[in-house]
Amino acid sequence: MRTSVYRFFTTDPADVSGLARAIAEGMIDPQSIVAIIGKTEGNGGINDFTRTLAMMAVSQVLATHLDCSPELVEERVVLSFSGGSEGVAAPHILVFTVSGRAAEQAYPIKRLALASAHTRPFSAQEVGRMVMVRETARAVTRLMHTLQVEPADVHLVQIKGAIPALDSTTTGNVRGEHLRCDMAWSRGASALGVALALGEVTESELSDDVINQDWSLYSSRASVSAKPLLRRSEIVLFANSCWWEGDLVIAHEVMRDIIDVAAIHAVLNQLGLQPVNGQLAAVDAEKVLAVFAKSDADPRGHIRHRRHTMWTDADISDMRYSRCVVSALLAGITGETGVYVSTRAEHQGPQGGGPVAVIGYAS
């Protein structure tokens, strides 16, 4: 089995010309596409329709090749778009394909492997609670078994968390507790599900009460967004496996805060890349294919004991500040502006920080 990654920079949210051309020229077999992840230039807020526009455009291109309606493309391919390309971040899409057959014996070196799965459908009462944590952990564990990898081999788990629709009878769960059916609760429970599957937390540490409350519990490899009206969560797991071949690998680290340059250097070092005078040389920057990070403006109002105003600025959203800062750091060090930075990182890295992962060519 082999994973391939194709990156296309876009001129607007609906620009799928690069993908369409790659399919037409035979570079990409649409049947092999597992996931498409992208950044659009919207505001990243609830009224950011650039994500929907991008997904519609991609679905229309793929539908004809997958012999299905555009509405059913998401049943076949995970589509995950994040709005907000502030500062130097360049809007782009990443297309992940899987090809080949299962190896009969392990290879001497590990290479990038990925697989996708869905959780079972959730009810509104289950979102943000241990039911969601356990079901997410079950799905992640199943993906590890599929790829024949251990938790230490996993470097990124990308999730679009479920937020099922409410109906007139949905006022609480059977115990009379309030609903948690929103983005923050879906993200938090999903991230803890990843942490549970990867052994970063134990079942005994978890309960409904710690979700979005105890920030000492987190995953160093979860990257979670959430989508209203989505009934089941969509998961893509990235790992290095000795059962896969190719020329790509993935590495990760945890940024302790949004100015943690050392963590970014550590990820690149794992890939055999050494920044010179703080930045990768152009020849090494070309070896970087995908950069992912989760970030948040620290809600405690301080970074390294210095006060920040990202949460109190009425003109600019704290999310946009955070994405801009982390994107600038990543681009400045890697020499590559095609970076994917997503905000709202409940239980995704330590409070005020977040995971960072890089896919690149093996050295």
Out of 39, 160, 287, 294, pick the active-site residue.
Answer: 160
Q: Residue 339 belongs to what H/E stretch?
A: none
Question: Strand 306-307 relative to strand 302-303: parallel, antiparallel, unpaired?
Answer: antiparallel
338 marked as binding residue: no
Q: Which residue has the tokens 């990243």?
A: 44
* Cα–Cα distance for residue pair 187/171, rounded to 1 Å: 21
350 marked as binding residue: yes
| DSSP letters for 204-221 | GG--GGGTTT-TT--BSS
225 is catalytic: yes
349 marked as binding residue: yes
| DSSP letters for 225-245 | EEEET--S-EEEEEEEETT-B
348 marked as binding residue: yes
* Cα–Cα distance for residue pair 160/139, rounded to 1 Å: 13
Alpha helices in the chain (DSSP H): 17-24, 50-66, 73-76, 130-147, 183-197, 261-270, 282-285, 318-334
Question: Strand 222-228 relative to strand 111-118: parallel, antiparallel, unpaired?
Answer: unpaired
187 marked as binding residue: yes
209 marked as binding residue: no
164 marked as binding residue: no
* Cα–Cα distance for residue pair 141/119, rounded to 1 Å: 11
Out of 85, 225, 233, 295, pick the active-site residue.
Answer: 225
294 is catalytic: no
226 marked as binding residue: yes
Contact 214/229 with Cβ under 8 angstroms?
Answer: no
354 marked as binding residue: no
> Active-site positions?
160, 225
Binding site, by residue number, is: 51, 82-83, 187, 225-226, 296, 323, 342-343, 345, 348-350, 353
Binding site for substrate, by residue number, is: 51, 82-83, 187, 225-226, 323, 342-343
Binding site for Mg(2+), by residue number, is: 296, 345, 348-350, 353
